[in-house]
Amino acid sequence: MALPTSPPRYPRGQCACRCLLWLLSVTWLAACAPVPARNPLAHWVPSPNVDVRRPVLIVLHFTNQHAVQKSLETLRTGNSGGPVSAHYLIGSDGDIYQLVADEQRAWHAGVGRWGTITDVNSASLGIELDNTGQEPFAPAQISSLLRLLDDLTARWRIPRTQIIGHEDLAPGRKDDPGPRFPWNQLADAGFGLWPQGALVDPPPGFDPWMALGLVGYPLDDRNAAVRSFHHHFRGIEGDTLDAQDLRVLYALARQLSGAQAP
């Protein structure tokens, strides 16, 4: 079929209407398009020396919900408290779901900090575990978590000690994954910071608060920081440091400073 040699002619009113519809469609498409990489205020002189966002931390959560499908809905929609997301969700049966690409910033950590990291969402990967926090974590789930951690730390070159809980970065505001989470099992597989060797009494003058800050805990609310520390390293409740806490903190401080075991 031959193509027309010139555009068809329309009555003046019809032409104006078509032009208006065309402008509206262009405006709608522009509104839906992602923000362009090029800044119109600058000359675009692209460099090949770029990289994607590289996470340096992994944060573990529990969903505090009773079904994977409910959690998938929560992590993919708006909620009463605002939209949330995570990179991965692991069901109690061990099934792994990915919701956000590793190189993208998910909304899982919220307000908090770990050591010198103050925008945790920008520096981390978030993993949700299907658990209410009131029950043991299923063996199949932990097995899948270990496989996922092995993959993520290797591919992104994340130090295997850089795996924490949500409550570690936000003491008092969050309590997941809670005292039932098997941090010692992760440590046996080589993941997470954990005291090595025999625990010994620290020397006179040892400052446990300095050690707690060295580990990474924010100390704005010291009682809350101790509660989170207890959940992670002792599997107990309480907000007062005891002699065993001092031994654990002394061991962790020595490991982080590179000191040799006594």
Residues identified as active-site? 128
Q: Which residues pair with 97 in a beta bridge?
A: 89
Tokens of 80: 């009463």
DSSP 119-134: -HHHHEEEEEES--SS
Q: How far apart are CA 155 and CA 148, in angstroms?
A: 11
Q: How far apart are CA 227 and CA 208, in angstroms?
A: 14
CA angle 157–160–166, rounded 5-degree value: 110
Q: How far apart are CA 176 and CA 239, in angstroms?
A: 16
Task: Look at the block and give the residue holding tokens 């020397």.
Answer: 203
Q: How far apart are CA 175 and CA 224, in angstroms?
A: 10
Other Cβ atoms within 10 Å of 256 Cβ, number: 14
Q: How far apart are CA 108 and CA 125, in angstroms?
A: 9
DSSP 32-77: HSPPPSS-TTS-----S--------EEEEEE--SS-HHHHHHHTTS
Q: How far apart are CA 248 and CA 226, in angstroms?
A: 12
